């Protein structure tokens, strides 16, 4: 899905007479099934309008953003990510909760507000729906850990109950069974996402092991716990042009030994048939090498290090 397709899929929310309704669900710390929140109709109207505005501001109006597969996530900004990895349970809820009429109501006799860790907000009508994932921050669950005073008649008194504050932000949206991540850093800190990243990164290690170009592949294995680096390994597993195009090892080593950005920064075994990754710099450059980030302009013969590479399959030019 690209950004224009994402906007098109959201258009139904803003059509005249769309009759958009909203339902709010709570996801609990104990990982049980979500609970539907019983909210007054007048308050639901305000919640609906707040999140419609939020979708407009966070997605539709972000005209410079692009949508990329999550497995290609890197240091670029202005990106939304289409989730193409194993879905953690809480994100599975984004899809499974739509159209599910068997979800229990949140019961104050069984649960407390402080047990809620995130919300799922479903917006839609009889034909189309979207669901939003909202991870709650500590300031959105106002409990008894602090001392709050409220106005009572003409004086202040202590507030002894818990409050749930619903703010307009959200971190992910699901539409047509496609999950789009808006805030990657928040998602990385939630549920089992880090474990998913580690499992997928192992596939990257295995892809590198299969081409047998490293003398010490354990230097990469030890970095899997680094989420940022693990994401780079995932990108290698799924999209490395060097691996996918079966570039011979001899050609890879020659390139690494002669390219201006790599020359002298990567070392080899005695007969120069294997690469030795013995520094942080060499590891970083090797990963970039497998992702084919080192480009040369055919026009100027200048060298570039580029994260964003659009694979041009074909092009039509106007006369």
The enclosing H or E element of 95 equals helix 89-96
Backbone dihedral angles phi then psi of residue 109, each to the nearest 5 degrees: -75, -25
For residues 288-312, give the mean pLDDT. 68
pLDDT tier for residue 216 given thresholds of 50, 70 and 90: very high
Strand partners, 130: 123, 175
pLDDT for 301 equals 65
Mode of pairing for the β-strands spanning 66-69 and 79-82: parallel
Quick one: pLDDT at residue 159? Answer: 67
The pLDDT of residue 55 is above 90: yes
CA distance 215 to 274: 6
Predicted confidence band of residue 158 (pLDDT cuts 50, 70, 90): low
Using pLDDT thresholds of 50, 70 and 90, give the confidence band for residue 284.
Answer: very high
Per-residue confidence band for 292, with pLDDT thresholds at 50, 70 and 90: confident
pLDDT at residue 311 in the model: 53
Give the 3-state secondary structure percentages of the chain, helix then strand then coil, rounded to 5. 35, 20, 45
The per-residue pLDDT for 267 is 94
Tell me how crowded residue 237 is: count the other CB atoms within 10 A of its CB: 19
- Is the pLDDT assigned to residue 212 strictly greater than 50? yes
Confidence of residue 163 (pLDDT cuts 50, 70, 90): confident
| Between residues 173 and 90, the one the model is more confident about | 173
- Is residue 294 within 8 A of residue 259, CB to CB? The reply is yes
What pLDDT is attached to residue 170? 93
Give the pLDDT band (50/70/90) at residue 81: very high
Q: Report the DSSP beta bridge partners of residue 179.
A: 174
Phi, psi of 202 (to 5 degrees): -60, -35
Whole-angstrom distance, CA of residue 223 vs CA of residue 284? 11
Low-confidence winner among 45-59, 87-101, 117-131, 276-290 (lowest mean pLDDT): 87-101
Q: Which residue has the tokens 């295995």?
A: 206
Q: How is residue 110 written in tokens?
A: 């069984």
What was the pLDDT predicted at 114? 85
Mean predicted confidence (pLDDT) in 44-65: 95
User: In this predicted structure, what is the pLDDT of residue 256?
Assistant: 92
48-52, 54-58, 97-101, 191-195: which has the minimum mean pLDDT? 191-195
pLDDT higher than 70, residue 306: no
The values of phi and psi at residue 61, to 5°, are -80, -5
pTM value > 0.85:
no
pLDDT of residue 302: 63
Q: What is the mean pLDDT of the chain?
A: 85
In angstroms, rounded to a whole number, what is the distance separating the alpha carbons of residues 111 and 118?
14
Residue 315 pLDDT > 80: no
Cβ pair 119, 26 in contact under 8 A: yes
Range among 97-101, 238-242, 301-305 rated most confident: 238-242
| Tokens linked to 45 | 């109207």
Give the torsion sign (CA, 183, 188, 192, 198). Answer: positive
Name the band, by pLDDT with cuts 50, 70 and 90, for residue 75: low
Dihedral over alpha carbons 303, 304, 310, 315 (to 10 degrees): -30
Give the pLDDT of residue 299. Answer: 62
**In the predicted structure, residue 65 carries a pLDDT above the cut 50:** yes
């Amino acid at each position: 899905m690209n950004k224009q397709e994402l906007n098109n899929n959201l258009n139904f929310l803003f059509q005249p007479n769309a009759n958009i309704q909203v339902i709010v669900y709570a996801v609990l710390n104990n990982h049980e099934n979500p609970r539907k929140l019983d909210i007054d109709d007048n308050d639901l109207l305000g919640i609906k309008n707040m999140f419609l505005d939020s979708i407009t501001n966070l997605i539709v109006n972000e005209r410079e953003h692009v949508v990329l597969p999550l497995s290609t996530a890197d240091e670029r900004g202005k990106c939304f990510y289409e989730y193409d990895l194993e879905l953690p349970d809480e994100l599975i809820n984004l899809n499974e909760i739509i159209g599910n009429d068997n979800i229990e109501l949140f019961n104050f006799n069984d649960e407390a507000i402080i047990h809620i860790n995130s919300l799922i907000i479903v917006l839609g009508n009889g034909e189309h729906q979207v669901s939003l994932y909202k991870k709650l921050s500590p300031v959105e669950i106002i409990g008894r850990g602090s001392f709050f005073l409220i106005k009572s008649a003409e004086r202040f008194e202590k507030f002894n109950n818990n409050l749930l504050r619903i703010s307009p932000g959200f971190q992910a949206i699901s539409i047509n069974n496609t999950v789009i991540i808006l805030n990657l850093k928040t998602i990385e800190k939630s549920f089992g996402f880090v474990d998913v990243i580690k499992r997928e990164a192992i596939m990257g290690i295995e892809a590198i092991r299969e081409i047998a170009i490293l003398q010490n592949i354990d230097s990469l294995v030890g970095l899997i716990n680094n989420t940022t680096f693990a994401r780079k390994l995932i990108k290698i597993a799924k999209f490395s042009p060097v691996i996918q195009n079966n570039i011979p090892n001899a050609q890879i080593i020659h390139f690494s030994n002669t390219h201006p950005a790599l020359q002298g920064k990567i070392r080899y075994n005695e007969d120069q048939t294997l690469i030795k990754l013995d520094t942080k710099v060499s590891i970083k450059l090797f990963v970039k090498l497998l992702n084919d980030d080192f480009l040369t302009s055919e026009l100027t013969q200048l060298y570039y290090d580029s994260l964003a590479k659009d694979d041009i399959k074909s092009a039509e030019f106007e006369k």
